[in-house]
Chain A
């Protein structure tokens, strides 16, 4: 299955989390989110965990790819 990718690079608070939330509603199995700052990374991770999802982040140069998956 191809996981939907959401690009939140360059967006200010709280748009990365809103976009992730919307993505999770449309793809309940999970999404991948690209972020370019640690604030958004931490916020998305916290939101996904609060929603009961499994989170896995990997660093890609100055960006992070956060994999949000249903547990």
Chain B
């Protein structure tokens, strides 16, 4: 295979910079503050738009999501990497996706928005980052001991095309705006950039992220697990470019209080992101990466997407999602249940649980 500049570290750094700049620019074009791009929030908005929940401030078909899937789809076709596959513990993936969303809506953001918040000066996101790292380390503990959701298998090509086709369907609904689709009139869901700008932004992000395999869970995971710095460079690059771009536009505000669409409960910001980090580490990638894989024909990632969609619907139907005024009691209970369920899934799918024979599997012998 021909190698080019984008294959190396330069590629992932440039991709991170592009994602960061696009995210902050989308805020300038109308997206909510520190939420230029958020996979969890935007899936939640889509769930609201199609009436899966009726929280009126968060209903909009986000073209960024559509664009990311289509961008990844086109890029994987061009690169001959599109393969329909699935069958790797589909229902467990659905459940993990569900609780990743519950955790994300406790923190109020996916790992990508966590970086956007950090790069906007939101100190609360530091608690999220701590939780995210703890969650990934918990995931690594089981991965090192043989955690697996079993292998996937090739499926018919049609199965792989369905998800991108559904995204096209959503795009048509967004353009035609039929009355049965809900669109927020106030709140975050009403704040959005011009449709085609958002769509184009999504396509660019999707294409670059597919090409470089950008993954925000993978960055921290590979650094700890293999001392591999490739993906973490993307993570850092997003952070730096978001910070610089926010400073350029004068939207950088370093503070704990008064941050947009954020609450100040450090403990629950942390616990929410533990759930996101842990669940995502077991799934094999962050929500952004799952979206990219969904575009490449990976049906296991589509199951994860559906889990997140359902999780978002439950979050708003049963008052699990936090708000700027803080977490709800229902949300706290849901996060705790989520942590217990993720722990059970992790335990039951780990072949060589080595609580009683530590040291036998030493992951660092080659280093």
Contact = CB atoms under 8 A, between A and B. Distances in A.
Interface of A: 9-15, 17-18, 21-22, 24-25, 37-39, 42-43, 46-47, 50-51, 62
Nearest to B226: A47
Given A10-B151, A15-B143, A38-B81, A50 B228 contact: yes
B227 interface: yes
Contacts of A18: 143-144, 225, 363
B227 A12 contact: no
Interface in B327-367: 361-363, 365-367
A38 B22 CA distance: 27
Interface in B183-223: 213, 215, 218, 221-222
Interface residues of B, number: 34
A12 B88 contact: yes
Given A10-B152, A10-B153, A18-B144, A51 B225 contact: no
Nearest to B284: A12
Interface string B109-152: 00000000000000000000000000000000001100011111
Contacts of A9: 151
Contacts of B228: 43, 46-47, 50
B143 A12 contact: no
Contacts of A11: 88, 148, 151-152
B285 interface: yes
A21 B83 CA distance: 26
B230 interface: yes
B226 A12 contact: no
B83 A62 contact: yes
Contact of B88 (A10, A37, A47): A10
Contacts of B366: 21, 24-25, 51
A58 B274 CA distance: 40
A65 to B, nearest CB: 15
Contacts of A13: 215, 218, 284-285
A52 to B, nearest CB: 9
Interface in B1-25: 7
A59 to B, nearest CB: 9
Nearest to A25: B365
Contact of B83 (A22, A37, A42): A37
5 contacts: A10-B88, A11-B152, A12-B285, A14-B222, A37-B81
A18 B147 CA distance: 10
- The 8 tightest CB contacts between A and B, nearest first, are A10-B151, A12-B284, A13-B284, A10-B152, A25-B365, A51-B366, A47-B226, A39-B213
Nearest to B89: A12
Interface string B216-260: 001001100111101000000000000000000000000000000
B79 to A, nearest CB: 8
B85 interface: yes
Contacts of A15: 143, 148, 284
A10 B300 CA distance: 11
Contact of A21 (B150, B152, B215, B226): B226
Query: Which of the listed residues B144, B285, B363, B366 has the most CB atoms from chain A within 10 Å of its own CB?
Result: B366
A62 B154 CA distance: 11
B85 A17 contact: no
A70 B190 CA distance: 58
A39 B149 CA distance: 18
A31 B184 CA distance: 56
B363 A21 contact: yes
Contacts of B152: 10-12
Nearest to A48: B366
Nearest to B230: A46
A37 B293 CA distance: 12
Contacts of A14: 143, 218, 221-222, 225-226, 284
Interface string B74-90: 00000101010100100
A46 B231 CA distance: 12
A21 B300 CA distance: 25
A24 to B, nearest CB: 6
